[in-house]
């Protein structure tokens, strides 16, 4: 089965494919252990691509049986390059642009990428959810969190029709990164805003392509579960992986302060990562 069919099948089964961003090669085996054979998409942002090298990331992904996504690609040329490099999927992101420009650029990217690699799965983004997978002390500026600002079913249907995307990632109360409760964000409990499950259901009913949820970090388990049941077929997670990787590394280095062999202290780091990915996969319906 190709990636698009796998995503559609997951949606029909009320499950979601886990999409995990990597910034370091040692994350691959940890994710593979957690996934234990379930389909997984590995995402590399433009920054992560520059660090890892797209070709190496692709070889690694292939060797573990993962699909590879060129995540948040911001130029048409970048989309063409990612398709030529053999990515299975490309997220084209012009969500910070006004709607007509987002449509125009996304359509151009879809045409260019599909010409370069037949069958590449193209995703478009609708509604700005912030740019960075970081932990924020202040609420990120300009992100869409009020239901009245979220893409409407009509807008989403138009976007899909006019761009030709295979997948749609709408703003439904999700934001990139994790917001500290002290930042006084969008929900009464602080931290990340609440998802609009109602809007997810409305969008699901209005469009025929699978829906993707970005900004999977910082969303409570019940929110993620409800989103998947409402019609989300893929969930992106990055910040929580980065946080666990770094925190576990700091802890491991402190516990083995004289140790210089990564083979001695990295297993603890990768176990922590594996545990997190396994927990998310279970929430998404794969256990
Ligand atoms: O594309 C990447 C994701 O949307 C990650 O979002 O950093 O909030 O988990 P996150
Ligand atoms: Zn994202």
Query: Is position 259 within any domain?
Result: no
Query: Is position 140 within any domain?
Result: yes
User: Is residue 187's pLDDT more than 70?
Assistant: no
Backbone angles phi, psi at 232, to 5 degrees: -85, 130
Average pLDDT, stretch 16-28? 98
Per-residue pLDDT of 132-166, as tens digits, reads 999 999 888 999 999 999 999 999 999 999 999 99
Number of domains in the chain: 1
User: Is residue 109's pLDDT more than 70?
Assistant: yes
Average pLDDT, stretch 29-40? 98
CB distance 179 to ligand 1 below 6 Å: no
Domain region containing 136: 3-237+279-283
Query: Is position 249 within any domain?
Result: no
Per-residue pLDDT of 188-202, as tens digits, reads 556 899 999 999 999
Active site residue 59: no
Query: Is position 261 within any domain?
Result: no
Report which of 215, 283, 250, 226 is spatially closest to residue 34, judged by C-alpha positions.
Answer: 283
Ligand 1, closest atom to CA 178? 8
Check which CATH number belongs to the domain holding 67 and give it. Answer: 3.20.20.70
pLDDT for 277 equals 98
Measured N-to-C along each axis, helices 262-283 and 27-35 cross at an angle, to the nearest 10 degrees, of 40
Backbone angles phi, psi at 136, to 5 degrees: -105, 140
Ligand 1, closest atom to CA 175? 8
Query: Is position 258 within any domain?
Result: no
Average pLDDT, stretch 235-262? 98
Query: Is position 274 within any domain?
Result: no
Query: Is position 265 within any domain?
Result: no
Mean of pLDDT over the chain: 96
Average pLDDT, stretch 261-287? 97
pLDDT for 191 equals 87
| Helix residue ranges per DSSP H, 39-163 | 46-52, 54-63, 76-84, 99-116, 153-163
Report which of 37, 62, 20, 3 is spatially closest to residue 286, judged by C-alpha positions.
Answer: 37
Those residues whose C-beta lies under 8 Å from the C-beta of residue 241, and which sit 6 or more positions away, are 20, 21, 22, 27, 217, 273, 276, 277
Catalytic residue among 71, 149, 154, 287: 71
Per-residue pLDDT of 51-78, as tens digits, reads 999 999 999 999 999 999 999 999 999 9
pTM of the model: 0.97
Ligand 2 center–CA 1 separation, angstroms: 25
Query: Is position 193 within any domain?
Result: yes
Contact 83, 114 (CB under 8 A): yes
pLDDT for 36 equals 95
pLDDT for 182 equals 80
pLDDT for 186 equals 57
Q: How confident is the model at residue 183 (pLDDT cuts 50, 70, 90)?
A: confident
């Amino acid at each position: 089965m190709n990636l698009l069919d796998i995503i559609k099948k997951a949606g029909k089964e009320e499950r979601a494919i886990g999409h995990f961003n990597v910034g370091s090669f040692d994350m691959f085996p940890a994710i593979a252990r957690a996934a234990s054979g379930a389909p997984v998409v590995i995402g590399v942002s433009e920054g992560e691509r520059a660090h890892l090298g797209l070709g190496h990331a692709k070889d690694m992904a292939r060797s573990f049986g993962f699909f590879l996504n060129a995540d948040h690609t911001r130029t048409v040329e970048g989309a063409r390059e990612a398709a030529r490099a053999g990515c299975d999927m490309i997220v084209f992101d012009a969500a910070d642009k006004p709607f007509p420009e987002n449509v125009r650029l996304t359509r151009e990217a879809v045409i260019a990428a599909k010409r370069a690699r037949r069958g590449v799965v193209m995703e478009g983004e609708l509604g700005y959810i912030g740019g960075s997978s970081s932990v924020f002390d202040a609420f990120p500026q300009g992100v869409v969190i009020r239901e009245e600002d979220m893409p409407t079913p009509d807008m989403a249907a138009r976007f899909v029709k006019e761009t030709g995307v295979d997948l749609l990632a709408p703003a439904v109360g999700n934001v990139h990164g994790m917001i500290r409760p002290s930042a006084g964000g969008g929900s009464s409990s602080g931290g990340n805003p609440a998802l609009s499950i109602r809007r997810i259901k409305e969008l699901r009913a209005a469009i025929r392509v699978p829906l993707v949820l970005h900004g999977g970090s910082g969303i409570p388990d019940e929110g993620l579960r409800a989103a998947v049941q409402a019609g989300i077929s893929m969930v992106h997670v990055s910040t929580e992986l980065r946080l666990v990787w770094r925190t576990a590394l700091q802890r491991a280095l402190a516990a083995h302060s004289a140790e210089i062999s990564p083979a001695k202290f990295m297993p603890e780091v990768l176990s922590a990562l594996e545990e997190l990915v396994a927990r998310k996969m279970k929430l998404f319906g794969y256990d």
